[in-house]
Structure 1
Amino acid sequence: MATGTEHAILFFSGLLLLAIVIQPLARKARIPFTATLVVAGYISSELLVRAGVDTGIRAENFHDLIFFVFLPVLVFESAYNINASLLWKSLLPILFLAIPLMLLSTVITATLVYFGIGHPAGFPWIAALLTGALLSATDPVAVVALLRQMGVSERLAMLMEGESLFNDATAIVVFSVFLTIATGSDGPMSLADASRHFLRVFFGGILVGAGTGLIFAVLVKLTGETVIKALATVISAYLAYLVAESVLHVSGVMAVLITGLIMGYRSQHAAPGTDTGFEQKLWEFNAYVANVLVFLLMGVTITLGMFEERWLAMLIGIVGVLLARTLGILSGVPLLNSLTPIEPISRPFQLVMLWGGLRGAVTLALALSLPTTLDYWWTIQSIAFGVVLFTLFIQATTIAPLLRHYGLNRH
């Protein structure tokens, strides 16, 4: 008789095998790979349930899996492989998009969802704020890949990629603060308490990441072994996260982000002749596995009841996200253009950034991590799934015509 652990291993192995099978099919059919993962996850789950197979996977087990396994990988890989030189050139607009506009997006989305659902007892303000935070995390990986494939301006690709990197980290920190309030793990919090808590965990995580990154950057120089260097990057990511979260109680995600930037900068500016290709491929592999599993888990956890009972909440979430993104980009970016000496971000760029701000792995990961003890967890998860499905099947599939309409593929 197989144990729960054996069931889980078989289940995740089966999910990865499924991804291997469907990726070439998705490419031939020109369907977004992540969208096919969701569909495949749902179908496989339904077949297993009808066959009476218990996978051993429970929603209440997702929190630690997401926060301690998947998120460090997703954040570190994005930071490690981003072009540090291009990031620095566009850092001001990226930080503006990723922090003030992300916070604005959270508030706008939360407000629309709260009043749209209109059920303060069953869906209070804290539920709306959790929803706004997780829906503010952008994931334009597919769009950025398309931009580069079509030869679009590297600056536009960097603006979107850089925004996503810092935006995701900020969204996770904000979500964690709201989750602490929702679960009451730190006792009652006033607005001032929550603000102080946010600043402490945010900047505390940055300091932990800076220290970890610098220490490991020095350690890596002491060895010439390619495999050891790659192993050091993995250790640095998880050590930064665990020290920040479990020891110092600050943001593990911010710690991983800064560690990844430092380790990535070291890799990109290594001495001539230094082989860093293995490290980069290792992290591409790690992120691939994490992304695949997150989208497949979305498919596995989707139920028809979500669409039957929560369709209106999903629709409100979609409208809220689009409106928040529209207000943020079309009002915030012109303000940035007028107040700073940087090269202005053109209106076509703004529209691509608006429509290309997809929601993906981080939004899903946060939704899957919600404790099932919260009365409204299923509603939030349903909204998140609805928004992600909309971005996968509508926004992701229509971004190429938008680029061609503005002639951006000729830059």
Structure 2
Amino acid sequence: MEQSFLFNSASLVFLLIISSITYIFSKKINFPYTILLVLIGLILIPLSKISFLGFINDFSLNPNILFFVFLPLLLFEAGYNINIRELKNNWIMISILSIFGVILSSLLIGFSLFLGLNLVGFNIDFLICLLFGSLISATDPVTVIAIFKGLGAPKRLTLIFEGESLFNDGTAVALFMIVLTMIMNGGEVDSLDVIQGIFSFFTMIFGGIIIGGTGGYLFSKLLGHIKYNEEAEITIALLSSYTVFIVAEYFSHHFSFLPISGIIATVVSSITIGNYGKYKITPKSEDHMNKFLIFFTFVINSLVFILMGLTLDSIEAIFLDFTIPIIIAILVLLLARFLTVYLSIGIVNSFKLEERVPEKWKSILFWGGLKGVLAIMLVMMIPSEGNAGFEKILEFENNIGWTYSYHFKDFLTIITISSIMFSLFVKAPTISYLMRRIGIGKVEVFEKVEEEEWKIIANLKIIEKLVKFYKNNFLDKKEYLKLKNKYKNDTKKSVRKIKEILRNKEDDLEIFIKRIIYKYALGIEKQYLKKLFFYKKIEEKNFLTMLNDIELKIQSINNRLKNKGEEEKEKPCFLRKMLLLNTKFNIYDIYIINRTKYTIGKKVIRDLKSIPNEKSIFDEKLLKYVIGIYEYSCDLANKKRVEIKEKNPIEIGLLEKNILNKTFLKVEEKLLKDLNNKEIIPVKFYNNLIGDLNKELYSNSKPSHLS
């Protein structure tokens, strides 16, 4: 037992070392990392036959570990980073591809593979073909997204790929479990089984949405109560994915007539936390969590893809005997993906359900539909010899007259891995060529302008920091002037580039410059608002209301940049709209909102006035124009604030006193941290003091009688 564990550990460490070296090498040669890993896995097969390297094959991924330990966090990482506002703008396209598309693809693959295999003499039951269709229909964006980022693909195209992959996992698993259940029940299917299957599919999807949404909301609320404990924040956020996944699977296990998809639940929960709970996590905790998720996905993808190559060595069937089924399977997959993508986009464009999807994107969505981790996980979930449920597999094989020397799981494993390898070795390397060929990687005019805008904004922030460093004597005058002139000249260069791009369009140039300044100002608003919310100087409902307002303005600016013609009227984010449902705003909420608008507005004005105002960078009148907007907004907010205060002097006085107390507590917190960093205060006293301070600092800013 001890020796077995030692060899397993040695195998795991060896594979991770090889994966890390492969990753570094892939970056140097600019080649997709996952493709190299599969190649390395194939190379390791003959090496594992050498006696002193025999331990390489000792480590294997248990399907339960894959499904219950690795999958929830992989889903959390993907969902947590999805912007719900962008998702909302493309939800119809993504829904059609991930639900209708997966169902259509599974059926097309099932029927076509059944007919094709039987035509060439392979007597494979339809349910086995349909099982393959369900497990292989989900797409894996890991390799494609890496290529997209390298070539600068349109953000919307990337979002559609990510969104489709995120949601079609749930659909594919739901279909897979339904078909596998039919197989485990002997394979005899009647009309009642079909109705039950359809019912189960819908309960899986909608049950998953309900449990995921509820779980995400509750965990987000919980995160709001532990802001001063970074370790607990990260743990709670990550455990949310496991909790909703296990709850959904537990419910399905005990109430088999009402199954719920753990995958859908985890996806919805992670999106909720990423767009609602994220604001309640300290920036430091969020940074640590993001780094952990990047590391975790690297480890899992490394192990799965490198073991994909090694898995072929464990299959007893002769690989060459499957040449014809593999070719048929690949052709069927291409046909199904082609019809699914072109039909789905055709529906959206023909009925004008959403912003039109460009015609040239069809070929990228078709060819970029790669297969990956989930397909391997699902094929491993089919019971094999020695596992629970294998007797039912044998019963099914006996019922359908299975005469081959290998089990149907081996057959599915071979064509699944072959299909994944085709997508990795043939489709993935040619995506870049296809994108360049049809001009998708080409940078549009508005993207060039936007790139220069962000350079200007970054340079202005650096100049602002330089001024502070110089005032605090961190820089001498010579070095300060040298650096300031460098970034000022870089800013001027970006402005000149924008002028060149938009030459002969003076009106457009003025609009774009105003947009740069206004977008920069809105960014300051959003950042400062989050800070006020984090320190409980503004309540959650008021924070969400103001955040929605800022994001709508940012989205409106982005829409105008793309020259969509008539300005698109943005609607509030659905998730936050639901969270604010039945929320009542009293006079004190209105006071706090106006007070916050006034405070943030003043900060924005100060920041804008600190921008170098030489005409060679910004025309002064454009800067004054945006400052004027904020001065007018501050004036209105202040008048409303004063009006409410005059009508409710005692209550508002207590509220202001409470807010002022928070400000002093924040100063005290900063002082304590500074003393601790300089090792002036003993750690024991620091921990006690900072703990008591945090409890008071992160409590509600509103006096109890105003709640």
Instruction: State the TM-score, normalizing by the size of structure 1.
Output: 0.92
Counterparts of 1:181 and 1:104, CA distance in 2: 19
Match of 2:204 among 180, 195, 201: 201
Return 396-405 or 33-42, whichever deviates more: 33-42
How much does 1:366 deviate? Answer: 1.6
What one-letter code is carried by the residue in structure 2 that aligns with 1:318? I
Q: Secondary structure at the match of 1:6?
A: helix
* Offset at residue 357 of structure 1 (A): 0.9
SS of 1:190's partner is helix
**1:167 counterpart = 2:171:** no
Equivalent residues in 2 for 1:218-297, closer than 5 Å: 218-224=221-227, 225-249=229-253, 250-266=260-276, 268-270=278-280, 276-297=286-307
Checking the alignment, whether the CA contact within 8 Å between 1:35 and 1:392 is kept in structure 2 is yes
1:129-168 matched pairs, under 5 angstroms: 129-168=130-169
* Contact map agreement 1:109 1:324 (CA 8 A) in 2: yes
2:416 to 366, 371, 384: 384
Q: Deviations over 1:132-184 (max 9, x none)?
A: 01110101222223223322211111111111111122111211221222223
Question: Which of 79-88 and 395-404 deviates more?
Answer: 79-88
1:96-135 mapped onto 2 (5 Å cutoff): 96-118=96-118, 123-135=124-136
Mapping for residues 324-403 of structure 1, pairs under 5 Å:
324-372=336-384, 373=390, 374=393, 375-403=407-435
State whether residues 226 and 278 of structure 1, in contact with CA within 8 Å, keep that contact through their aligned partners in structure 2: no
Structure 1 residue 247: Cα displacement: 3.8
Decide whether the 8 Å contact of 2:305 with 2:373 is kept in 1.
yes
SS state of the match for residue 409, structure 1?
A: coil
Q: Distance in 1 between matches of 2:213 and 2:186?
A: 28
Q: Which amino acid aligns with 1:97?
A: L
For structure 1, which segment, 111-120 or 270-279, has the greater mean C-alpha deviation from structure 2 after superposition? 270-279
Match in the other structure for 1:323: 335
CA deviation profile, 1:64-96 (whole Å, cap 9, x unmatched):
122112221222211112222211211111101
Q: Distance in 2 between matches of 1:308 and 1:243?
A: 44
**RMSD, aligned α-carbons:** 2.5
Calculate percent identity across the aligned residue pairs.
29
Equivalent position to 1:406, from 424, 438, 443: 438
**Separation (CA, whole Å) in 2 of partners of 1:272 and 1:20:** 30
Letter in 1 for 2:244: A
Secondary structure of residue in 2 paired with 1:359: coil
The structural deviation recorded for 1:268 is 5.0
- Alignment CA distance shift 1:306-1:344 (3 Å): farther
Structure-2 separation of matches of 1:35 and 1:221:
42
- Which amino acid is 1:242 matched to? I
Which letter does structure 1 place at the counterpart of 2:323?
Answer: W
CA-to-partner distance for each residue in 1:258-303, whole Å, 9 max, x for gaps? 1111111135545896752222222222222111111122112013
Seen in structure 2, the aligned counterparts of structure 1 residues 368 and 31 have a Cα distance that, compared at 3 Å, is farther
- Counterpart AA for 2:416: A
AA of the residue aligned to 1:252: G
- 77 and 197 in structure 1: CA distance in 2 versus 1, 3 angstrom threshold: same
Q: In 2, Cα distance between the equivalents of 1:122 and 1:246?
A: 37
Using a 3 Å threshold, how does the CA distance of structure 1 residues 234 and 275 change in structure 2: closer, same or farther? closer
1:82 alignment partner, SS class: coil
| C-alpha distance 57-362 of structure 1, shift in aligned 2 (>3 A) | same
The structure-2 alpha-carbon separation of the partners of 1:185 and 1:15, relative to structure 1 and needing over 3 Å to count, comes to: farther
- In 2, Cα distance between equivalents of 1:380 and 1:124: 12
Q: Within 1, Cα distance between the matches of 2:172 and 2:19?
A: 28
- Mean Cα displacement is larger for which, 152-161 or 281-290? 281-290
Shift of 1:219: 0.8
Question: Matches of 1:369 and 1:42 in 2, distance apart?
Answer: 23
Provide the C-alpha distance between the structure 2 equivalents of 1:265 and 1:238, rounded to a whole number of angstroms: 18
* Alignment-mate amino acid for residue 307 of structure 2: L
The 2-side partners of 1:104 and 1:67 are apart by: 25
Using the alignment, how far apart are the partners of 1:186 and 1:322 within structure 2?
28
**How far has the Cα of 1:317 moved from its partner?**
1.4
Mapped contact 2:211–2:248 kept (Cα < 8 A): yes
Paired residues of 2:92 and 2:353 also in contact (CA < 8 A): no
3-state secondary structure, aligned to 2:48? helix
How many residues of Structure 1 are paired with residues of Structure 2 in the alignment? 409
Aligned to 1:81: 81
Conserved 8 A contact 1:38-1:299: yes
Of 314, 319, 330, 2:326 maps to 314
1:94-142: per-residue Cα shift (whole Å, max 9, x none)? 1011100111011111111111221899521111111001110101222
For structure 1, list consecutive stretches of 5 or more residues without a partner in the other structure: none
Counterpart CA distance in 1 for 2:332 and 2:297 is 29
**Inter-partner Cα distance in structure 2 for 1:370 and 1:271:** 40
* Counterpart-to-counterpart distance in 1, 2:166 and 2:326: 26
SS at match of 2:167: helix
Indicate the SS of the match to 1:99. helix
Match of residue 16 from structure 1: 16
Q: Distance in 2 between matches of 1:32 and 1:181?
A: 38
TM-score (norm 2): 0.55
- Aligned partners of 1:134 and 1:109: how far apart in 2? 11
SS in 1 for 2:441: helix
Secondary structure of the structure 2 residue equivalent to 1:223? coil
Deviation at 1:26, TM superposition (A): 2.2
Hey, what does 2:177 align to over in structure 1? Answer: 176
**1:220 to 1:270, Cα distance in 2 relative to 1, 3 A:** closer
- Counterpart amino acid of residue 217 in structure 1: S
Q: How big is the shift at 1:371?
A: 1.9
Flag the structure with more relative contact order, 1 or 2, with Cα contacts below 8 A and sequence separation at least 6: 1
Q: What is aligned with 2:214? A: 211
Structure 1 residue 226: deviation in Å? 2.6
- Return the letter of the residue paired with 1:191: V
| Distance of 1:271 and 1:18 partners within structure 2 | 35
Q: Distance in 1 between matches of 2:374 and 2:186?
A: 23
1:42 and 1:171, CA in 2 relative to 1: closer, same or farther beyond 3 A?
A: same
SS in 2 for 1:211: helix
Long gaps (5+) in structure 2: 254-259, 385-389, 394-406, 445-707
Q: CA deviation at 1:5?
A: 3.4
| Contact residue 110 and residue 133 of structure 2 kept, 8 A | yes
Q: Which residue of 1 aligns with 2:543?
A: none
Taking the aligned partners of 1:409 and 1:122, their CA distance within structure 2 comes to 45
**Matches of 1:353 and 1:344 in 2, distance apart?**
14
- Aligned-partner SS, 1:137: coil
The one-letter code matched in structure 2 to 1:130 is: L
